[in-house]
Amino acid sequence: MNPKRKTYKINQLEQDTKLFHDQMVNCGDDLTLLALKGHLLLEKQLTGLLEDVVAYPEVLQAANLRFHQKVNMVRAVCIATDKISTTRSKNHIFMAINNLNSNLRNHLAHHLEVRDLDNRVDAFCSMMESICPQKNLDLKGRSTRLKSALLTLFCAIIAQRLAWDMTRKAPARNGYAGGNVAVTSSNSGCKDSSPVGQA
């Protein structure tokens, strides 16, 4: 079995971005649909990132990993291979992804009616806005805030995939070939605050 690492090409980026846009538009202002669709779209990107970095994607597919396992694997890859920046902003991003999974998606998937949905959406959006402040944007309405929060996470994962592909092609430096450039405060607009606990 020969290694077959994937390359995240620009045409795939365009397809993924269009898919995200179309799905968010189709959901309208339905918070339940937005949270569930957003979760699925993020999981697709997490899976894609893992398939980008492993030598045998088919083995990964056979493992049938759950969402939180994919998040932890991506987190491990990002931290283990990052030789440039700290893990501060990344920890916050992974905390937000886990918050979306546990406090929004799982609640919606296992309850016919979520009476505190508005509060859960507000909490998730506030977390995202504290991590990556949306400067000069007038985000009115819960659905608009949720779409913006989901877009921020989507872009963070996309940026990680592109960074991985670029650094993998770069020449080795100091005995270190390939690797990862983190989405940090310097290149994502996210706040760089003190380290937090495990996501």
Among candidate residues 139, 145, 138, 134, the one with its CA nearest the CA of residue 104: 145
Plot region of 18 (φ>0 → left; ψ -120 to 50 → alpha; else → beta)? alpha
Residue 154 to residues 13, 63, 124, 134: CA-CA distances in angstroms? Answer: 11, 24, 15, 15
What are the pLDDT digits (tens) for 137-167? 667 899 999 999 999 999 989 988 888 777 6
Q: What is the pTM of this model?
A: 0.78
Neighbours of 115 (CB within 10 A): 8
As a whole-number percent, the residues of the chain with pLDDT over 70 amount to: 71
In this prediction, residue 185 carries a pLDDT of 34
What sign for the dihedral angle of Cα 2, 43, 198, 83? positive
User: Residue 180 carries which DSSP code?
Assistant: B
Q: What pLDDT shows up at residue 7?
A: 67
Model pLDDT for residues 44-58, shown as the tens digit of each residue = 999 999 998 888 889
> Which residue ranges in the chain fall short of pLDDT 70?
1-7, 79-90, 135-138, 167-199
- Judge whether 182 and 85 are in contact, CB under 8 Å: yes
Residue 182 dihedral angles phi and psi, to the nearest 5°: -75, 155
